Amino acid sequence: MSKRLIELNNISKSYGSNLVLDELNLYIRENEFLTLLGPSGCGKTTTLRIIGGFENPDTGAVLFDGTDITSLPPNKRRLNTVFQKYALFTHMNIEENIAFGLKISGKTDKYIRDKIEYALRLVGLEGYEKRMPDSLSGGQQQRIAIARAIVNEPQVLLLDEPLGALDLKLRQDMQYELIRLKNELGITFIYVTHDQEEALTMSDTIVVMNQGYIQQIGTPEDIYNEPENAFVADFIGDSNIIDGIMLQDELVMFLGAKFACVDTGFGTNKPVDVVIRPEDVILTPPERGVVRGVVTHLIFKGVHYEMEVQAGGFEWLVHSTTMFPVGAEVGIQVDPFNIQIMNKPESIDEEAVPIEE
């Protein structure tokens, strides 16, 4: 397993009376693509800016390869940042933009020429050296911003919502480009986004944040299939989140019906959150369902149908390749393995999970 490259130890940060980060602990491994994911105001960009040296924490320490860099300015850190707004110099052509950091570092003209050629080839924009930034599309400008960052050979590349200003098709193309770059360059990527699809598509590790706390850390598969709490389940994709009572191990009751599940260790007759993904809801003839309902809404999504079903006093979201028309009476079943049971949080900002080795 790769070594820890960056460690954040007990990082807190406030702006006036607004506590943005509350004793946050996190580590990032060498060559990892780690994404900080969460809604606006959750603290993800502040975390990135503290790693980059653009903000100082009120308390805590930032370690880079075992060395404390908390007070080190951004230009002394072995990392580069790519922002959403590209931050290209509009009065410079592409060649001059990419060469800017290298010239400051005192590199030779030949070294700079070789690096520019290499970087433009890497981002697929060979021959653009003399173009001006305003003659490029948004996706091309973002590629130049990435090229300018990688020619400095950072050990870490920080990306602050870099695809947010692009249209959907360009954004998807750039997601694959970033994965390719990360694999080719062998550097650590720390990526900030509020877009769940981006996080699931690109990341080795996702850190879900809310209100200055880490809610869950895991692989995309873990985050999606095994959310630690209702916030994560609701934020990552669509979920049906239902109040339930854990009657005993492997048996939960919700919406007036008993469902078999595979979870244990919750005790008896304990209030819980029950999470079921829309694609895991099985629609059946009414008489075969654990609960019965009526289809109230139907949309064709291309790959599947999205339906809303009123059943047991709850509005279920259902994704299925089988279409049931609006007004149809249906039954609902769920495989026990697809019922996720969670403890109800004791407070709204409860930290959900400790960091594991």
Contact 241, 248 (CB under 8 A): no
Domain coverage including residue 21: 4-225
**Taking the model in full, what pTM does it have?**
0.82
E strands of the chain, at which residues?
A: 4-15, 18-29, 33-37, 59-64, 67-68, 79-83, 156-160, 188-193, 205-210, 213-218, 240-248, 251-254, 257-260, 270-276, 281-284, 291-300, 305-311, 314-320, 329-334, 340-343
- Residue 356: the pLDDT is 40
Please list the alpha-helical segments (H only) found in 3-66. 44-52
Residue 231 lies in a domain: no
Q: CB neighbours of 215 closer than 8 A, spacing ≥ 6?
A: 38, 208, 209, 228, 229, 231, 232, 351, 352, 353
Domain closes at, from 225, 250, 275: 225
> Which of 180, 204, 192, 4 lies closest to 82 in space, CA to CA?
192
27 and 154 housed in the same domain? yes
Residue 350 lies in a domain: no
- Residue 10: the pLDDT is 96
Q: How many alpha carbons fall within 13 Å on the CB side of residue 170?
A: 13
- Reported as a single tens digit per residue, the pLDDT across 310-356 is 999 999 999 999 999 999 999 999 999 999 999 887 655 444 343 34
What does 94-107 look like in DSSP terms, one character per residue?
Answer: HHHHHHHHHHHTT-
117 and 79 housed in the same domain? yes
Return the number of other C-beta atoms located less than 10 Å from residue 78's C-beta.
15
Q: What are the tokens at 25?
A: 């602990």
246 and 208 housed in the same domain? no
221 and 245 housed in the same domain? no
Domain closes at, from 165, 193, 225: 225
How far is the CA of 179 from the CAs of 174, 204, 242, 339, in angstroms?
9, 10, 36, 32
Residue 150 lies in a domain: yes
166 and 274 housed in the same domain? no
| Host H or E run for residue 147 | helix 138-150
Amino acid at position 225, single letter? N
Q: Which residues of 197-216 are buried (b: 16+ CB within 10 A; e: fewer)?
A: ebbbebbbbbbbbbbbbbbb
Residue 30 lies in a domain: yes
209 and 243 housed in the same domain? no
131 and 209 housed in the same domain? yes
187 and 315 housed in the same domain? no
The rounded Cα 58 to chain-centroid distance in angstroms is 25
CATH code where residue 296 lies: 2.40.50.140
Low-confidence ranges of the chain (pLDDT < 50): 349-357
Domain closes at, from 190, 225, 260: 225
162 and 263 housed in the same domain? no
How many domains does the chain fold into? 2
219 and 310 housed in the same domain? no
Residue 323 lies in a domain: yes
Residue 72 lies in a domain: yes
CATH code where residue 207 lies: 3.40.50.300
157 and 259 housed in the same domain? no
